[in-house]
Structure 1
Amino acid sequence: MTWAPGTGDGLAPTPVVRLGMEVAGTPRQLWLKLEGYNPYGSVKGRTALALWRDAADRVERGTGLVESTSGNLGLALAALAAAHRVPFTAVVDPRTSAALLYDIRALGARVVTVHTPDGAGGYLLNRLARVRALLREQPGLVWTDQYSNPANPAAHATGTAPELHWQTRGEPMSVLVAVSTGGTLAGFRRYAAESGAAWELVGVDAAGSAALGGPAGPRLLSGIGSSRPSAFLPDGHRPTVYVDPAEAVTVCLWLRATTGIGVGASSGAVVAAALRLFRADARRVTVACLCPDGADRYRDTVYSPLWRRAHGMARSGALPGVRVLAADGAGPLTEGVRW
């Protein structure tokens, strides 16, 4: 079946913005798929809907659902649980945005915060241990398990990926996807294999992440990277680009200043990786970036001068020679701005 609006996950398509740009004097085209326009404000709205549909017939109204989350999935599941009048418990950590926590609680969800780092650069392993403890304490509690539930990659194989292919008219291009659980990238791989899409699929991960087999180490940004290998991509993924926090943050600030488009930390990492790929190969003319969420979840981190100073966040060297010339579908463009 040919994909068209309404034939995938049933959600309205999220917008795609095309940036015409020069990188080191060479014309390039960068597509940004803005998943912040999904229900509940992120690509995790798609994942949450798939996880809810998978779990709905097992949920008991007295106990409900539980999930470990860095924030976005927790908000989406909290909204779905509230709509169906079942309890939801979000297991989070100190990196979760204060604004997201406020919204999750406002939907009636319980929030459990894990404060102890897991020794692998983050909190994930201890969040998962807390989920398992809750399952033992509350018989009947259902774990949606975004980390190994096949519904996660399926949401993107049948929804996000074919939607992007349709929106970009099937053009050959590199497609960049950030990794946390690995479900989104695994879904894109499945779609590309089954459809024959002329895509070079590139994983984008955080320095210090073990999601795609790299060594675990300290990580700062939420929503990208993992303390353990992805269950959906047990053999990793090639090619993969690793991005450090300063590079991702610099690109977020640059993108908003030059185009008016505000994106989150993992989106900044993906766009930073795209700029690297443009520099690496003059023949790579078109790149698409899946941007998981918007700037609204990062006002107290990426877009906060106080937070950036507290973490010694100096501007990286990601942007010399990059010039945005035109933006189809974006807000006001600051023409010809150089960073």
Structure 2
Amino acid sequence: MKYCNNILETIGNTPLVKLNKVTSEIDALVLAKVETFNPGNSVKDRMAVKMIEDAEADGRLKPAGTIIEGTSGNTGMGLALGAIIKGYKLICVISDKQSKEKMDILRAVGAKVVVCPTDVEPDDPRSYYSVSKRLAEETPNSWYVNQYDNPSNAIAHYEQTGPEIWEQTDGKITHFVVGVGTGGTISGVAKYLKEKNPNIKIWGVDTYGSVFKKYHETGIFDENEIYPYITEGIGEDILPKNVDFSLIDGFTKVTDKDAAVYTRKIAKEEGIFVGNSAGSAIKGVLQLKEHFKPDDVVVVLFHDHGSRYVGKMFNDDWMRERGFLEEEIKTAADLIREHIHQPLVTVRTEELVSHAIDRMKKFDISQIPVVDNEGFAGSLDESNLFRLFFEDKDLANRSVKSVMGNPYPIVKEKTPVEQISKLIDKENSAVLVELENGKNQIITRHDIIRAIQ
């Protein structure tokens, strides 16, 4: 009989899969190391168990102890599997930008999940780095994993992932491309592969809002490069000890939009349902195509499973809200697609300006059409109201009719976007669309800007 004694024995030996359509513009052979075949559906299973075993061996993790870690979700899943099999408690500290699916999955496997704000400095007491350390200090018989600086992270990939890739490619690999977060995967694999063949090129995929690329190229840690981003699993606002920059030949940065778009492309064009960092990695490969020759063998690592992102990158509404959905915008109807079923917010000529202001606040809008018994009679714009307020402090008690501007131009649903954009200028902040059902909708500067993202 052939069976595993527990789920941890199924970690590793994930397949290499040739990519075809999504990398069709690249002449080289591109192979994906699909880490979703690990039991926790991510590459992090490897290092999570390695870190646990090394901590057990040197006494940092004691029987019936509590494991505490700051995680984007995948390391937490790997730690959860280890904790279940080995009898530990687990507390995962996670940032609020991570998908709800990741949080729910962690809770499903018995972890306690503590959610922290993303948009704070690393040393802020609210950050998931700081909260993890504090919980470790406060919790009896606990062990703080610290995957960013824990050497077992990179060692796991030096001992497992690197050798697997070398053997699976029969030593023919020429390039390894991978998203960089904690640095364990890229550094561990790079160390092994370069020991086998120093000519193998190692490329890291970074994201905008992260410090890796500039630091690698200049040695400068530029805090101006740090800002919130959507992409999950890669990029950092710190320099983890596990990132060995001497082993990395270069970085390429991928936008949030490209990462999301290519995550979906991988599923639709290759039938491989993987996560957000895989989209970044594939777009990174395409950006690096000039470095590849026809005889090269390029291995790109897919970190985790698409099920963690069904509410995000695989959700049309989520993608559309951020301007990530690749929809062709040609006419007025395309611009109002998201809010076409919402009633048009208006104000009447004889109402007070205060009523219009309340409506703007309630519906979070910046301009509002003015109507009377005959139809559209004028318009109000928040910038004009702001200017008028300094001329008349009693503005709120005046009638809308006394301060309104000209009515917004009215166009048909099939009016081209180019024509609409010419109607929106300094004097006119919106356009009304006459719908086929006789009702109206509004197009603002904001709608135009989102369409050109």
Same fold, judged at TM 0.5 (above) = yes
- The residue number in structure 2 matching 1:268 is 279
Alignment of 1:94-109 (within 5 A): 94-109=96-111
CA shift, 1:12, in A, is 4.2
Measure the CA separation in 2 of the matches of 1:107 and 1:32.
28
Measure the CA separation in 1 of the matches of 2:196 and 2:301.
19
- Verify the 8 A CA contact 2:206 2:253 in the aligned structure 1: yes
Given residue 196 of structure 2, which amino acid in structure 1 is its aligned partner?
S
- Verify the 8 A CA contact 2:12 2:46 in the aligned structure 1: no
Measure the CA separation in 2 of the matches of 1:55 and 1:66.
13
Deviations 1:34-88 (A, max 9, x none): 0011121100000111111012243245541100000001111112112222111
Tell whether 2:70 aligns with 1:59. no
Tell whether 2:17 aligns with 1:17. yes
- The residue number in structure 2 matching 1:217 is 227
Query: Judging changes above 3 Å, is the alpha-carbon distance between structure 1 residues 92 and 249 closer, same or farther for their aligned structure 2 residues?
Result: same
Query: Judging changes above 3 Å, is the alpha-carbon distance between structure 1 residues 172 and 102 closer, same or farther for their aligned structure 2 residues?
Result: closer
- Give unmatched runs, 5+ long, in structure 2: 1-8, 216-221, 328-453
- Give unmatched runs, 5+ long, in structure 1: 1-8, 317-339
Alignment of 1:1-150 (within 5 A): 11-20=11-20, 27-56=27-56, 57-61=59-63, 63-115=65-117, 117-119=119-121, 126-150=127-151
- What is the TM-score with the length of structure 2 in the denominator? 0.63
Measure the CA separation in 2 of the matches of 1:124 and 1:204.
29
CA shift, 1:107, in A, is 2.1
Deviations 1:178-232 (A, max 9, x none): 1001111110221123222642111111111124526322211111111112212
Given residue 312 of structure 1, which amino acid in structure 2 is its aligned partner?
G
Measure the CA separation in 2 of the matches of 1:23 and 1:103.
31
- Verify the 8 A CA contact 1:153 1:186 in the aligned structure 2: yes
CA shift, 1:100, in A, is 2.2
Measure the CA separation in 1 of the matches of 2:125 and 2:232.
11
Measure the CA separation in 2 of the matches of 1:288 and 1:148.
26
Given residue 76 of structure 1, which amino acid in structure 2 is its aligned partner?
G
Query: Judging changes above 3 Å, is the alpha-carbon distance between structure 1 residues 272 and 71 closer, same or farther for their aligned structure 2 residues?
Result: same
Measure the CA separation in 2 of the matches of 1:194 and 1:127.
35
- Verify the 8 A CA contact 1:192 1:199 in the aligned structure 2: yes
- The residue number in structure 1 matching 2:369 is none
Instruction: Report which structure shows greater RCO (CA 8 Å, sep ≥6).
Output: 1
Query: Judging changes above 3 Å, is the alpha-carbon distance between structure 1 residues 275 and 109 closer, same or farther for their aligned structure 2 residues?
Result: same
- What is the TM-score with the length of structure 1 in the denominator? 0.82
Among 289, 301, 318, the alignment partner of 1:278 is 289
Query: Judging changes above 3 Å, is the alpha-carbon distance between structure 1 residues 279 and 226 closer, same or farther for their aligned structure 2 residues?
Result: same
Residue range with higher mean Cα deviation, 67-76 or 131-140 = 131-140
Query: Judging changes above 3 Å, is the alpha-carbon distance between structure 1 residues 25 and 246 closer, same or farther for their aligned structure 2 residues?
Result: closer
Measure the CA separation in 2 of the matches of 1:28 and 1:268.
19
Alignment of 1:115-264 (within 5 A): 115=117, 117-119=119-121, 126-196=127-197, 198-211=199-212, 213=215, 215-233=225-243, 235=245, 237-264=248-275
CA shift, 1:308, in A, is 0.8
State the Cα RMSD in Å: 2.7
Query: Judging changes above 3 Å, is the alpha-carbon distance between structure 1 residues 233 and 104 closer, same or farther for their aligned structure 2 residues?
Result: closer
Measure the CA separation in 1 of the matches of 2:31 and 2:245.
28
Deviations 1:98-155 (A, max 9, x none): 22222211222211111252247x9998111001211221243101111111100000
Measure the CA separation in 2 of the matches of 1:255 and 1:123.
37
- Verify the 8 A CA contact 1:204 1:240 in the aligned structure 2: yes
Deviations 1:238-270 (A, max 9, x none): 311111111112212222222211221111111
Given residue 64 of structure 1, which amino acid in structure 2 is its aligned partner?
T
Measure the CA separation in 2 of the matches of 1:280 and 1:303.
31
The percent of aligned pairs where both chains have the same amino acid is 28
